[in-house]
Amino acid sequence: MTTSFKDILDTLPTTDGITAIVLLDAAGETLTRLENKPGTAGSVRVYHALIKKHSHINRAAALEGLQLYAEHTADARQNPGKHPNIDRLLAIAEADAPGIRARIVLQDD
């Protein structure tokens, strides 16, 4: 039996106190900001877990992230653009795109 994204989320570190995660390119320029709110809170939790473990999103982190997204990864492959946070990991993992850095924004920042 395959584990669902919802079940996987329950195993990841909490993101209490995190407002957002800002993803940065190699030059430190902002690529995007993942807000910790309904609709993107799951992605914040996945990216937060990857950052805690790998300190940035490189190929190994991206491959792990694709596993964490579970059934949503297959949907992202079939529907490019529908899941931009997964598309980003796919590009890093499969297209050998450069890794990205991240800055965690806390509620007090």
The pair of three-digit structure tokens given for residue 94, joined into one six-digit string: 């499969």
What pTM did the predictor assign? 0.94
Q: What's the average model confidence in pLDDT over 10-25?
A: 96
Please give the C-alpha separations between residue 64 and each of 5, 19, 24, 76, 77, in angstroms, as whole numbers: 13, 23, 19, 15, 16
* Model pLDDT for residues 25-77, shown as the tens digit of each residue: 989 999 999 999 999 999 999 999 999 999 999 999 999 999 999 999 999 99
Dist. CA 42–CA 31, nearest whole Å? 19
- Are 18 and 105 spatial neighbours (Cβ–Cβ below 8 Å)? yes
The answer, yes or no, to whether residue 93 has pLDDT greater than 90, is yes
What proportion of the chain, given as a percentage, has pLDDT over 90?
Answer: 91
Identity of the amino acid at 65: G
